[in-house]
Amino acid sequence: MKRTVIATLLIGLIIGCQKVPLSGRSQLRLVPSSQLLPLSFSNYKEVLDTSRVVRSGEQAEMVRRVGARIQRAVESYMNANNFASRLNGFQWEFNLIQSPQVNAWCMPGGKVAFYTGIMPICQNEAGIATVMGHEVSHAIAEHGNERMSEGLLANGLIQGGQLVLGTLSQSQRSQTNALLLQAVGAAAPVGYQVLRALPHSRSQESEADKLGLIFMSIAGYDPKEAVGFWTRMSQASGGKKPAEFLSTHPSDQRRIRDIQSQIPDAMKYFNKKY
């Protein structure tokens, strides 16, 4: 019996190991979109219902305006590169939340949240586009599914290589919701291990940076503006970030250096018409 369960689990893991079409990197995705997206939308609604959403004003309007432009850029790029199916089930939404947190995130399915704490660092639409492109790229590359799959597996919520939400207990559902919020950066990560999760997360961040530059370029925002945003973000941190080895993100210096090297390629998409 035990051997059968293990064999089934291994088969599920093999099936769940796929490649990110946009980079070719192998990733683990065990949660089908038919289950993940409804869970994502429900969690997003709960966040909005329990937060102070900024409905009007210049900043809220900028977030929605930039979001709409990035959405069109993503859809154009994905259609032109035969990745349109990855957008199936997306229900785009862009909201600004009143909070001092210097953060933004995108749920699977295109649900984006910006916090007012990051707006002074964004400064303008190009800064917002830098963040928006990066966060949306996480959803396009299904990083949330990847992180959540690893978390579910580690916490014993994947059985036989499959997650069936209807069979979970209330406590397991709460744990699943927490893992999703953690996976997209809407909650602080807990229990990450240096030798596995942290380096893996850094690779996802770098993927999102590269793809985000392309999306903001297609949307008509100069990708060189990304350097200014990340420089301001570095200055705002006051040098208090942990060493890169112990961080889920690349160091500020590495990120800026990598982005500078990627700008020439991104410029090829600047205002490109599909």
Note down pLDDT in tens along the chain; length 274 residues: 334 333 333 334 434 456 676 777 777 777 778 888 998 899 899 999 999 999 999 999 999 999 999 999 999 999 999 999 989 999 999 999 999 999 999 989 999 999 999 999 999 999 999 999 999 999 999 887 788 777 766 665 555 444 545 555 555 556 655 555 565 566 544 444 444 555 557 788 889 999 999 999 999 999 999 999 999 998 987 766 665 544 666 788 889 999 999 999 999 999 676 6
Q: How far is it, in rounded angstroms, from Cα 121 to Cα 142? A: 26
Q: Which residues pair with 114 in a beta bridge?
A: 96, 104
Any idea where the domains of the chain sit in the sequence?
Answer: 12-267
The listed CATH number (1.10.3470, 3.40.390, 2.40.128, 2.30.30) that belongs to domain 12-267: 3.40.390
Give me the amino acid identity at 72. Answer: R
146 catalytic? Reply is: no
Provide the pLDDT for residue 93: 98
Q: How far is it, in rounded angstroms, from Cα 70 to Cα 60? A: 15
44, 107 contact by CB (below 8 A): yes
Provide the pLDDT for residue 11: 36
Provide the pLDDT for residue 236: 87
Provide the pLDDT for residue 160: 45
Single out the catalytic residue among 93, 135, 146, 205. Answer: 135
Give me the amino acid identity at 244. Answer: E
Provide the pLDDT for residue 202: 78
pTM: 0.80
Q: What is the 3-state secondary structure (H, E, C) of the chain?
A: CHHHHHHHHHHHHHHHEEECCCCCCEEECCCCHHHHHHHHHHHHHHHHHCCCEECCCHHHHHHHHHHHHHHHHHHHHHHHCCCHHHHCCCCCEEEEECCCCCCEEEECCCEEEEEHHHHHHHCCHHHHHHHHHHHHHHHHCCHHHHHHHHHHHHCCCCECCECCHHHCCHHHHHHHHHHHHHHCCCCCCCCCCCCCHHHHHHHHHHHHHHHHHHHHHHCCCCCCHHHHHHHHHHHHHCCCCCCHHHCCCCCHHHHHHHHHHHHHHHHCCCCCCC
Provide the pLDDT for residue 2: 39
Provide the pLDDT for residue 185: 64
Provide the pLDDT for residue 34: 84
Locate tokens 């984006």: which residue?
112
